[in-house]
Amino acid sequence: MFRKHILTTIAATAAFGFSQSARADGIGGVAGTVGGKISGGFKEGVKRTGQGVNDLARDGREVRDQAVDQAEKYRRQAQEAIDRFNQLRRDVDNLMSEYQKYERLAKGDDARLRAEAYRQLQNMGVMGSNQRDVQANMTRGLALVIWSSHFDHVEQQKFATALAASVASGNPGPALTYVKQFAAESKKTVLDNLKNAPQQVRKKVEAEFEKMLVAALDKAVNKGQPLELRFEGVSLTVGLATYNHWCDIRFKWPELVPTRQILGVQLYEIRMKDGGGRIPLPNTYQPYARVQVKYSSR
């Protein structure tokens, strides 16, 4: 009986120990499983976090690269605008050099080069002169104006020299070389208006008109003022008309205007403004005789 109790006790104890061991093993297994899962989740989270950081870094590099590309694009645009502006300025400078060249040639002594300069300027600009206004002022009233040949600045100098030589020698010949037709027409007009004048007046005009005309022209050229000759009621005002000439030029003047800054790059636009000016050209000259009948000759 006692032995049976002992065996039962040992069996129960063994059973309890086995049960406790099994329970402990079960808890350990659960703990191991949970720990494994926690550890795996942590590792997966770390892995995903690292991937996110890498993605952000990659995205940042892409944004940076795009910004660099855009900035380079804007720099090229800005440089292209500057280069275009500089080319336009060079074009204007070249045009102005051409104008200046032809202006110098127009003022020179070479007749062929002067003619070429005027031809070029006519193609490049608009020629202007006050000749019409000067002549209109001469013909006001009842006056008859007789015009001589039209001299450029070089021929005018030669004419002035011939006038001085004629006056000094008393021989109108040198000056008449330039104004022969003018002198003949002026003389005829005066005599036509002296039909009723005394014979001695007509003879004096016929004999000395050329010399008087040349002397009057010489004084008009030297003093810059017309000189009046009177013949028995007929007034003959002798002078030298001076005409101003010019060439009006027009062109587009470029301006480089800053607009805005993008990504640290200054951008520009080119604006074209109307430009122009007036190139003065040499004066030309024309002797004239203004005839007015003050009263009728008897």
Measured in degrees and rounded to the nearest 5, phi and psi for residue 171 equal: -115, 110
How far apart, in whole angstroms, are the C-alpha atoms of residue 67 and residue 70? Answer: 5
- Give the model's confidence band at 30: pLDDT under 50 very low, under 70 low, under 90 confident, else very high: very low
pLDDT digits (tens, 9 = 90+) for 249-269: 998 999 999 999 998 999 999
Q: Is the separation of the CB atoms in 279 and 129 below 8 Å? A: no
List the one residue out of 140, 181, 297, 145 whose CA is nearest residue 234: 297
Looking at residue 212, its pLDDT comes to 94
Q: Apex CA 242: angle with CA 190 and CA 160, to 5°?
A: 75
Tell whether the model's pLDDT for residue 8 goes beyond 60. no
User: DSSP per residue over 260-296, as a string?
Assistant: EEETTEEEEEEEEEEEEEEEEEEEEEEEEEEEEE-S-
* Least-confidence region, from 49-63, 121-135, 167-181, 204-218: 49-63
Q: Would the pLDDT of 10 be above 50?
A: no
The reported pLDDT for the residue numbered 208 is 93
Pick the more confident residue, 38 or 3: 38
194 vs 39: which has the higher pLDDT: 194
Least confident among 13-22, 59-68, 195-204 = 13-22
| The pLDDT of residue 121 is above 50 | yes
Q: Poorest-confidence range of 104-108, 138-142, 189-193, 243-247?
A: 138-142
Task: Judge whether 291 and 190 are in contact, CB under 8 Å.
Answer: yes
Mean pLDDT for 8-32 is: 43
On whether the CB atoms of residues 270 and 256 are closer than 8 A, the answer is yes
The answer to which of 36-45, 119-128, 182-191, 199-208 has the lowest mean pLDDT is: 36-45
Please count the CA atoms within 13 angstroms of the CA of 65 that sit on its side-chain side: 6
Domain map of the chain by residue range? 130-245+283-293
Crossing angle between the packed helical segments 199-223 and 173-192, to the nearest 10 degrees? 130
Average pLDDT, the chain: 83
Q: What is the pTM of this model?
A: 0.68
Checking if the pLDDT of 227 tops 50, the result is: yes
Alpha-carbon span 187 to 93, nearest angstrom: 54
Band (297; pLDDT cuts 50, 70, 90):
very low
Least-confidence region, from 8-17, 224-233, 241-250: 8-17
| Highest-pLDDT range among 12-26, 55-69, 267-281 | 267-281
Q: Give the up-direction half-sphere exposure of residue 186: CA atoms within 13 A in the CB hemisphere.
A: 33
Q: 144-147 and 265-293 as β-strands: parallel, antiparallel, unpaired?
A: antiparallel
Stretch 1-13: mean pLDDT: 39
Average pLDDT over residues 217-225: 91
pLDDT of residue 45: 56
- The residue type found at 73 is K
Give CA separation, 185 vs 148, 188, 213, 227, in Å.
9, 5, 12, 18
DSSP 57-119: HHHHHHHHHHHHHHHHHHHHHHHHHHHHHHHHHHHHHHHHHHHHHHHHHHTSS-HHHHHHHHH
Question: At residue 31, does pLDDT exceed 90?
Answer: no
Q: What is the pLDDT of residues 125-182, one digit of tens each?
A: 999 999 999 999 888 776 799 999 999 999 999 999 999 999 999 999 999 999 999 9
